[in-house]
Amino acid sequence: MSAFHSNSPIKRRVAEPVLAVLTIFLATGIVNESVILFNTILELLWFPVAILVPGLLALSVLVGMLAHGIRLSSTVLGSGNRIQPGDTAITRVLASIVLGTLAAFTLLWVVASLYIHYLADTGGVSPSIWALLFGGGLGVLVLLRAVFFQLFPEGPFSRLRGPSVE
């Protein structure tokens, strides 16, 4: 049995909350202009870490959104029973769309930052701050999504449909 099996104790999305916390940490360090970050981390290492962490978070969210879309489409087409509990809940579909859009936008800024920093010989301010700011927002939303779907695994309205305890 694989470690990434859905019934294993190791959750499939362990890396996403870790990347979200790291991205939030990096974004707050940039916003606060923390001197500690720049003095403790070598300057050559700072830029790749500050860009790759939000980029990896965005890629992880996009892969999750794509997997959710494939499961939903397989249910609609009737080509298999890949659906997981709560996949058809409107809150999960909306969360997937919102997070996927923000992840695509973050990934756009990550790619632009890498292009401008390594390929284009331009001056001025690097757009890496935008990748970090949008990545920080994405990180907050990913953590909120994780908490929300731990509380309501099949959506918040599933409790209304169940039998009432009286």
Assigned domain for 57 exists: yes
Q: Are 8 and 2 in contact (CB under 8 A)?
A: yes
Assigned domain for 129 exists: yes
Segment 73-116, tens digit of pLDDT = 877 777 767 677 667 778 888 888 999 999 999 999 999 888 88
How high is the pLDDT of residue 75? Answer: 74
More confident residue, 119 or 41: 119
DSSP string, 40-73: HS-HHHHHHHHHHHHHHHHHHHHHHHHHHHHHHH
Threshold 0.85, pTM exceeds? no
Query: What band does 3 get if pLDDT is binned at 50, 70 and 90?
Result: very low
The residue range of the domain holding 114 is 9-31+40-150
Assigned domain for 155 exists: no
Assigned domain for 87 exists: yes
Mean pLDDT of 14-32: 87
**Number of domains present in the structure of the chain:** 1
Assigned domain for 145 exists: yes
Mean pLDDT of 142-154: 85
How high is the pLDDT of residue 107? Answer: 94
Count of positions (residues) in the chain? 166
Assigned domain for 162 exists: no
